[in-house]
Amino acid sequence: MRTLRWAQRALIVLVATLPLLLVTLAFVPALLVLPFRRERAAHAQAMVRQLSAWTRALLLSSRER
């Protein structure tokens, strides 16, 4: 039973990681350009904070309770 639970958790993390990876790749062009414009630096920081929050949520939700 423990092996099944581990496999389910691994599958959920894999499925949740794919959209996160796609969003991160979509953010890359903006993160390369926005920090060099003063009026958009705060926007770039907000994007990085959001990516960090999503990654943290994914990793914390995959932990065994």
Rounded Cα gap, residues 18 and 27, in angstroms: 14
CA distance linking residue 11 with residue 15, whole number of Å: 6
CB 65 within 8 A of CB 20: no
- pLDDT at residue 21 is higher than 80: yes
Domain range enclosing 19: 2-61
Has this prediction a pTM greater than 0.85? no
Q: pLDDT at position 53, please? A: 92
Of the pLDDT bands very low, low, confident and very high (cuts 50, 70, 90), residue 7 is confident
Q: For residue range 37-62, what is the model confidence (pLDDT) as tens digits?
A: 788 888 888 888 998 898 888 878 77
Query: In the chain, how many domains are there?
Result: 1
